[in-house]
A and B are shown apart, each in its own frame.
Chain A
Amino acid sequence: GAVVSQHPSRVICKSGTSVKIECRSLDFQATTMFWYRQFPKKSLMLMATSNEGSKATYEQGVEKDKFLINHASLTLSTLTVTSAHPEDSSFYICSARPRGRITGNTIYFGEGSWLTVV
């Protein structure tokens, strides 16, 4: 089946630094990828929609200057948390839809990335 890989799976960074998380579709092309955030013991909330070759679409309340999303190719989207603070510590997970598919039954999730800001 289709595979979506995230890297790193776990990262610890110092407060004030930036950290990049990658989301790759390994065996399919994805024009659209999605980034979700999960606070401890909470649900997953959509942060933004990453569109290949264009700007990301952010959900209401998500700071686009803090969470930079770049979808540079059909197989890679990156989320950069800039000037990270401890409150940014969270589980970040991406999903991707294979190019050409339009139904909601072909979304694949990555394994997620745990970010801890100290």
Chain B
Amino acid sequence: AQKVTQAQTEISVVEKEDVTLDCVYETRDTTYYLFWYKQPPSGELVFLIRRNSFDEQNEISGRYSWNFQKSTSSFNFTITASQVVDSAVYFCALSGGYNFNKFYFGSGTKLNVKP
């Protein structure tokens, strides 16, 4: 079965602090994809990153970085020097198995960045 767990329901930080959002996944598939999406109050899903199961290389994009560790089934997301505009709900998602188009979302982490 596919499952994504985001244990942090809500996180509050002060602007310029670094923050890490945790994501732990479960799957029996050897080939799968992991995603992070940002959902602002307006509701749309903003794609942040996709990782396939064969690529454990960490990635950095500006203030964003991702740490993929298959050994612990984790795909954590770090925002460096957070800004108020980073305030949103962040979802980790998994797709794989016979249907790569079917997404399993975590419960989301609401990030509040205070000025």
| Residues of A that sit less than 8 Å from B by CB | 32, 34, 36, 41-46, 49, 91, 93, 95, 97, 102-105, 107, 109-112, 114
Contacts and interface: CB of A to CB of B under 8 A. Distances in A.
Interface in B77-115: 91, 95-96, 100-108, 110
Interface of B: 32-33, 37, 42-45, 47, 50, 52, 91, 95-96, 100-108, 110
A45 B50 CA distance: 19
B29 to A, nearest CB: 11
23 contacts: A34-B101, A34-B103, A41-B110, A42-B108, A44-B103, A44-B105, A45-B105, A49-B102, A91-B43, A95-B101, A95-B103, A103-B33, A104-B33, A104-B95, A104-B101, A105-B33, A105-B50, A105-B52, A107-B103, A109-B47, A111-B42, A111-B43, A112-B45
Nearest to A97: B101
Give me the 7 closest cross-chain CB pairs, A-B, nearest first: A104-B100, A104-B33, A104-B95, A112-B43, A111-B44, A109-B45, A43-B107
Contacts, number: 58
A7 to B, nearest CB: 13
A56 B52 CA distance: 28
A102 B100 contact: yes
B105 A43 contact: yes
Contacts of B103: 34, 36, 44, 46, 95, 107
Nearest to A102: B100
A22 to B, nearest CB: 16
B97 to A, nearest CB: 10
Contacts of A41: 110
